[in-house]
Amino acid sequence: MTWQGDVPGLTAKVAGELAAAAKALMQAHTLFSVIDALLGDEMSTYRAQVLARIGFEMTMNYGERAEEEAANLAEVARG
């Protein structure tokens, strides 16, 4: 399929969604890096679980958001 042009605002919307997803993934990576570093020190298992849960929720929410946007883009591309 050849892309024929932009539906008004679509490219900007997709770019914004991809940027938000990328930012969330980088934040999750930072969070998991902190967990990894602190587990070697005096971090309690409970605190590690709380931080891991935050990362889980963050990646799940942004994964769902990106999936919805991909479906919307595919629908627009099909015409």
65-72 mean pLDDT: 82
Mean pLDDT across the stretch 24-38? 85
Instruction: Kindly report, residue by residue over 6-21, the tens digit of the pLDDT.
Output: 667 777 887 888 888 8
> In this predicted model, which residue has the larger pLDDT, 24 or 41?
24
Q: Are 73 and 21 in contact (CB under 8 A)?
A: no
Does residue 24 carry a pLDDT above 80?
yes
Domain boundaries, the chain: 10-78
Whole-model pTM?
Answer: 0.61
| Average pLDDT in the chain | 79
